[in-house]
Amino acid sequence: MTFELSREHEEFRRVVREFAESEIAPHAARWDREHHFPTDVVQQMGKLGLMGLTAPEEYGGAGDDGDFTSLCVAIEELGRVDQSMGITLEAAVGLGINPILTYGNAEQKQRWLPDLVAGQTLAGFGLTEAGAGSDAGATRTRAELVDGAWVVNGEKQFITNSGSDLTSCVTVTARTGVSTAPTGEERAEISAFVVPADAPGFTAEPAYDKLGWHASDTHPITLEDVHLPEGNLLGERGRGYAQFLATLDDGRIAIAALAVGCIQACLEMSLQYAGERQTFGVPIGRKQGVAFQIADLEVMAQASRLLVYRAAATKDAMRDGGGPTPAELKQAASVAKLYATESAVTATRVATQVFGGYGFMEEYPVTRFYRDAKVLEIGEGTSEVQRMLIARGLGLPVE
């Protein structure tokens, strides 16, 4: 038994690292400052095959040469130099391609996937609304079947990759009626739809002014009498909420990989600075007060990475028709997400402290990582939601 990645995965890591260091790292500070979403680099990521790592060959994906673990390695490596590009890949695959690949019918896959997999277009994932975040089942967006067309009305918020020049569609959840549970209780019937970005009535509102992830594309979405053919229903009617929650299980592993990239960056930046910066005539790394904090960063990086790779391996084993159950995947994903993202926030605080006053100045990337890290504890289910899911997985009757 070994806890190492395969030689192929490590070779793949080297390729992505080279790309990240040559095409992204030199520009990341400027993109952040100018809130610039670099469409050309996103398309290059597609050409490198990063969007197709979990897709079958028939849609231009890597087929058996790729897996979810490779995706996590790629997100980690992009995130090590730029969290914005890391989340762009994470959302492109985990939230954009994944629901269409998993729940789409042959026609939907053929229509949307080839361009998404090639990285020439992007898809958003529209679950969250003003009154439906952690409580995503409280969606108010509605879809009504009128004369053979779905008419969708509502508003989604905080949607990644939803308003870029590359955005071709957004999948959304909407109420399509009322269903009766086996207990007799009535609840909202929620279905999922693919909404083309050029559909009349679809508007990506102006981008948010965010604390971090400045080079990532995030918008509110308005859906006003959007008419969709019946064929735009994604998956089974009434199963949309369940499909979106299952999509988030995968997404949580991928966002945890982004957190690992953040911790690794903090470790490397702190290590280098501690060797260079002198106080009292010696490098600060000679002081236990600094060195021990950097030792803690190494522990955070290793522990988080192991949890992410274990969760990714669980996902890959399921794709191969192996043993793990969806409940085991959910638990592994939440454990990895919770630990890695909270560690990332701690790691950026530690790294900023190691840099002293320079840690507060935008001339060092550590500042950008500090701003970027916080959202890791919020997106794709907050830390509190992860604790709730983990506790439930342990059998506790948590509300």
Beta carbon of residue 241, minimum distance to ligand FAD (angstroms, whole number): 12
Beta carbon of residue 138, minimum distance to ligand FAD (angstroms, whole number): 10
Asked whether 181 and 340 are in contact (CB, 8 A), the reply is: no
For residue 357, CA distances in Å to 354, 362, 364, 367 come to 9, 11, 11, 11
The whole-angstrom separation of Cα 161 and Cα 169 is 10
Pairing of strands 282-283, 278-279: antiparallel
Cα dihedral across residues 388, 394, 398, 399: positive or negative: positive
Q: Which CB, 167 or 367, lies closer to ligand FAD? A: 167
Beta carbon of residue 106, minimum distance to ligand FAD (angstroms, whole number): 26
Please name which of 311, 324, 150, 337 lies closest in space to residue 259, comparing C-alpha atoms: 337
Supply angle C-alpha 58, 64, 70, rounded to 5.
Answer: 110
Q: Which CB, 199 or 245, lies closer to ligand FAD? A: 245
Q: Which residues bind ligand FAD (CB under 6 A)?
A: 91, 95, 124-128, 133-134, 158-160, 210, 213, 218, 375, 378-382, 384-385, 388
Q: Which CB, 133 or 201, lies closer to ligand FAD? A: 133
Comparing every residue's Cβ against ligand FAD, the nearest one is 133
Given the residues 23, 77, 377, 380, select the one marked as catalytic: 380
Beta carbon of residue 170, minimum distance to ligand FAD (angstroms, whole number): 9
The whole-angstrom separation of Cα 224 and Cα 108 is 23
CA 378 to chain CA centroid, Å, is 11
Q: Which CB, 157 or 293, lies closer to ligand FAD? A: 157
Instruction: List helix spans (H) across 50-185.
Output: 68-81, 83-90, 98-103, 106-117
Q: Is 380 a catalytic residue?
A: yes
Q: Which CB, 124 or 285, lies closer to ligand FAD? A: 124
Name residue 207's amino acid. A
Supply angle C-alpha 143, 168, 85, rounded to 5.
Answer: 115
Beta carbon of residue 93, minimum distance to ligand FAD (angstroms, whole number): 12
The whole-angstrom separation of Cα 229 and Cα 195 is 10
Q: Which CB, 166 or 290, lies closer to ligand FAD? A: 166
Beta carbon of residue 11, minimum distance to ligand FAD (angstroms, whole number): 31
As annotated, the active-site residues are 380
